[in-house]
Amino acid sequence: MSNEAFTPHPDRLLPADPGVRDIARSLYERMRDQPIISPHGHVDPRLLLDDEPFRDPTSLFITPDHYVNRLMFSRGVDLSELGVGRGPLDEQDSRAAWRLLAEHWHAYAGTPSRYWMEHEFSEVFGLTTGLSPQTADAMYDELAAKLAQPEFAPRALFDRFGIQVLATTDDPVDDLAPHAALAADGSFTGLVIPTFRPDKYLEPARADFVELTDALGAAAGVDTGTYDGHLEAMRIRRLYFRDHGAVSSDHAHTDPGTQRLSVEDARRLYAAARNGQIGAEDAVALRRHLLADQARLASEDGLVMTIHPAVYRNHHTGIFEKYGADVGFDIPIAVDYVHSIAPMMNDVGLSENFRTVLFTIDETVLSREIAPLAGVYPSVYAGAPWWFIDAPDAILRYRRAVSETIGYTRTSGFIDDTRAFCSIPARHDMSRRLDASHLAGLVAEHRMREEDAAAIADSLPDEQPRQVFKVDGSAYAKEN
């Protein structure tokens, strides 16, 4: 088989034109070995606290990764065959899932999922084989053997990956004990910080809104039976997070509306929601007000507000009922940032402490809305491409869409947004290669001086996200 031996090309993702590639290579060299700053992601902190070895290749690469699952499902593979919705797979089922991946591997050609995994196979695990039905078993065995070795345990990889900062995403009622333990552990030098993710506590239409807000109140030691109590509880929990190292909060509602209600209306609607008597429109109005409250709290406590809006969650009800959320049935929709955040920007957009990073999967708002907003409000940054568009062509489109309006200093820096721990270096490396390619194109067309491109390359991987996310201000920040 010609595809059995395989190593990713050292010039992958760099431009094909030899002259431009030379420029890109030298820009990439400036970025390649910078540390990894990951200010937004979904790795479980217990992974690093417990430092248990990864169980097997399938639970590492397939089962939890909806990027991988969704494409196989669309090709007729049952999600349960991939381990979704089941407990840990035994060796036989795990290997069977792996063989399914190999069987469908050709359908991933050109996707970032395959790109990242091939990077991981090679650069993290040192494999020199391409995945195929013929090589599946041998690769499974080789990976399983590596996973059992201490140098492939989470903390060892964390060090090897050069991760300096890793933000997790956490529930407002979480006690953040793993973060505290890691921060207190002198043998662990990385910075693992929580992120305040209050979405579900801001959705009055949820059937479990009372239970949720009760739990919030319990965590905060405040009666959340009233709107004022809810606001106070949020204030308290945000500060708790900030005291446990958090530098940002994350918000992912169907729309990023921030229209405020009068206090009276907020109280009235909140009471109705607690009584289970709020209508659909009022629930949206209250949710927007509660999001506006988060912005106001952010202007007090300084947590950076990241917004990931406009996804139709659980598009298929039957799948949701069978497998739960996050199995690939979340589909993006159009977003209108300009009207949605106008109330918030008028409220706190020029406050010194307030900062927001606007993400989108709807690429139309990049040149039309996000760049113009980030190019004038000191508090707004243009978030890096996310989820479906965290991929080479889309990343290049992002740079071309925003940098003519805002250059590079008003962008967020790369965000891996992943729960796939071992893919983190692959993702950051991809981003660095693409930024090098983008900048090299500008240099080659004499649109940017090479020295300016070099300075930008120097700043993008580390300095930019560190500054945008106020990382050095984290309560858990350590000396580098």
Which residues, numbered 16-75, are part of the site for its own copies (CB under 8 A)?
16-20, 70-71, 73-75
DSSP state of 307: E
Nearer to its own copies, 337 or 421 (CB): 337
Positions 444 through 473 that interact with its own copies (CB under 8 A)? 444-449, 451-453, 455-456
Cα–Cα dist 27/222, whole Å: 53
Nearer to its own copies, 168 or 314 (CB): 314
Cα–Cα dist 478/91, whole Å: 41
Q: Check binding of 280 to its own copies (CB under 8 A).
A: no
Q: How far is CA 445 from the centre of its chain?
A: 33
Q: Check binding of 84 to its own copies (CB under 8 A).
A: no
Nearer to its own copies, 186 or 318 (CB): 318
Point out which span in 103-111, 184-192, 225-233, 469-477 binds its own copies (CB under 8 A).
103-111
Question: Please, what is the minimum distance in Å from the beta carbon of residue 131 to its own copies?
Answer: 12
Point out which span in 5-13, 147-155, 292-300, 421-429 binds its own copies (CB under 8 A).
5-13
* Site pattern 394..413 for its own copies (x: CB under 8 A): x--x--xx-xxxxxxxx---
Positions 216 through 245 that interact with its own copies (CB under 8 A)? none
Q: How far is CA 293 from the centre of its chain?
A: 23
308, 252 contact by CB (below 8 A)? yes
Point out which span in 3-11, 39-47, 177-185, 235-243 binds its own copies (CB under 8 A).
3-11
Residue 279's SS3 state is: coil
Q: Check binding of 92 to its own copies (CB under 8 A).
A: no
Residue 197's SS3 state is: coil
419, two tokens: 């729960």
Cα–Cα dist 330/351, whole Å: 34
428, two tokens: 């950051």
Strands 36-38 and 163-167: parallel
Comparing C-alpha atoms, which of 192, 169, 190, 189 is closest to residue 180?
A: 192
Cα–Cα dist 12/25, whole Å: 10
Binding test (CB under 8 A) with its own copies, winner from 32, 173, 272, 388: 388
Q: Check binding of 181 to its own copies (CB under 8 A).
A: no
Cα–Cα dist 35/116, whole Å: 18
Nearer to its own copies, 139 or 144 (CB): 139
Question: Please, what is the minimum distance in Å from the beta carbon of residue 427 to its own copies?
Answer: 14
Query: What is the DSSP annotation of 227-272?
Result: HHHHHHHHHHHHHHHHHTT--EEEE--SS---PPPPHHHHHHHHHH
Positions 325 through 354 that interact with its own copies (CB under 8 A)? 328-334, 336, 338-339, 342, 345-346, 349-350
Nearer to its own copies, 158 or 323 (CB): 323
Q: Check binding of 194 to its own copies (CB under 8 A).
A: no
Q: Check binding of 384 to its own copies (CB under 8 A).
A: no
